[in-house]
A and B are shown apart, each in its own frame.
Chain A
Amino acid sequence: MSTLIAYLFVLLGGAAGALSRFGVQELFRAFTRWPGWVAVFFVNVLGSFLIGLVVAWLQGLIALEHSERLDPLQLYIDTQDADHGLALLAAGFCGAFTTFSSFSLDNHFLAKESRALLLFNMLGSLITCLAAVALGWSVGKAMAG
């Protein structure tokens, strides 16, 4: 995959991802009374699930085609499509949809507010996101067949 195309896909996916995160944050603000860090927590869990699903699915499809010994040109084309999908959806969309900087900034404020909430956000985000990515991975694998 040419580098320029990869950057374009990441850029487009990133723009959509950041906007979706902004949308979720605005929805949380409009419809709930929860503090801002809850929205970031939710976004990170959802994005972790999605990246697990997308990567396992696309990599699984390509691995399957390798094992089926398609003709080389078709395999090359499909691998390229999968790489484009990964750049757009994984590195671009999911990468920008989730955020580590806002998470750290929230932790900075929570540290002032309460130790319990700080620990809840840190450990809770870690455990839930790892569980979400593992769940997404198994769903994606099942989808690839």
Chain B
Amino acid sequence: MDLLSKILVIGAGGGFGAAIRHMLAGILEGGLNLPAFAAVMGVNVLGAFLIGFVFLLIETRFRPEGNSRLKDLPVSRDLETLDGWPEGDPTLPAVDVFQAKQSAELYSGFFITGILGGMTTFSLFSLLTLNLVQSGEIAWAVFNAIGTVILGFLATQLGFRFGCRWALNRPNQSDPPE
């Protein structure tokens, strides 16, 4: 993808992502009466789950030339029944490979760098932790700091697992049928 398209896609995704965070955090804070740090924690952990899921789908669907970044991960064992995984299909026409590469860049730019990158945030998390420290609620500050990082890490793993299931149930559609 050319630079201008990337800028457009990431800018649009980032803007919507930030607006989605604003809305979700508002709902969690206003609707469920959660404190601000818990609302941001919820959005961050949700985003961490989604990035695992989306990343796995992109890396299984749009890598027909076999350079998936999942190759060396433990999850790649689960995916071995997928067509052409992980070596790729050498008989595929160059146009199809190019198209898949473009799709991978488009989806990863819009959903991962844009929407999920804009939706999740480290700065608000830091700021709200600082505010907890400033108001003397040290226990909540520690809970927020450690809890967000650990839950986010686990959520990403869960996202990968869900993505694996999804990918296996719906084999690569970019491969032409025999």
Which residue in A51, A92, A109 is a CB contact (below 8 Å) of B126? A51
A18: which of B22, B55, B118, B160 is its contact (CB, 8 Å)?
Answer: B118
Q: Are A112 and B72 in contact (CB under 8 A)?
A: yes
- With A7-B22, A96-B117, A96-B118 in contact, do A52 and B126 touch (Cβ < 8 Å)? yes
Question: Is B14 touching A19 in the complex (CB atoms < 8 A)?
Answer: yes
- Give the CA-CA distance A56 to B153 in the complex, in Å: 30
- Please determine whether B130 and A52 come into contact, CB atoms closer than 8 angstroms: yes
A28 on the B face (CB < 8 A) = no
Q: Is the CB of A101 within 8 A of B119?
A: yes
Q: Is A100 an interface residue (CB 8 A)?
A: yes
**Residue A17 at the chain B interface, CB threshold 8 Å:** yes
Tell me, yes or no, whether A58 is within 8 Å of chain B by CB: no
Stretch binding the partner chain, chosen from B60-68, B92-100, B108-116: B108-116
Cβ A14 vs Cβ B126 within 8 A: no
Enumerate chain B residues within 8 angstroms of A103, measured Cβ to Cβ.
122, 152
Does A134 reach chain B (CB closer than 8 Å)? yes
Contact with A along B166-178 (1 / 0, CB 8 A): 0000000000000
Question: A119 vs B121: C-alpha distance in the bound complex, in angstroms?
Answer: 20
Cα(A6)–Cα(B21), bound, Å: 13
Contact across chains for A11 and B15 when beta carbons are under 8 A apart? yes
Separation in Å of the A22 CB from the closest CB of chain B? 5
A79 interface contact, C-beta 8 A: no
Q: Could you tell me the dominant secondary structure of chain B's interface residues?
A: helix
- Check B126 against A91 for contact (C-beta < 8 Å): no
Q: Is the CB of B14 within 8 A of A14?
A: yes
Q: Which residues of B contact A16 (CB under 8 A)?
A: 11, 14
In this assembly, does A38 line the interface, its C-beta being within 8 Å of a C-beta of chain B?
no
Q: Is the CB of B124 within 8 A of A91?
A: yes
Q: How far is the CA of A96 from the CA of B114 in the complex (A)?
A: 8
The one of B11, B119, B130 that contacts A134, using a Cβ cutoff of 8 Å? B130
Interface status of B27 (Cβ within 8 A of chain A): no
- Please name the residue on chain B nearest to A13 by beta carbon: B18
| B97 vs chain A, min Cβ distance (A) | 23
The answer to whether B51 touches A50, judged by C-beta atoms less than 8 angstroms apart, is no
The 3 closest A-B pairs by CB, nearest first: A18-B14, A14-B18, A15-B15
Give B contacts to A, CB under 8 Å: 6-7, 10-19, 21-23, 44, 47-48, 50-52, 55, 72-74, 112-114, 116-127, 129-130, 145-146, 148-149, 152-153, 155-157, 160
CB pairs A–B below 8 angstroms (20 shown): A10-B19, A10-B22, A18-B113, A51-B127, A52-B127, A90-B123, A96-B121, A100-B47, A100-B48, A100-B121, A101-B48, A101-B152, A104-B48, A104-B153, A105-B51, A105-B55, A107-B156, A108-B153, A112-B73, A126-B146
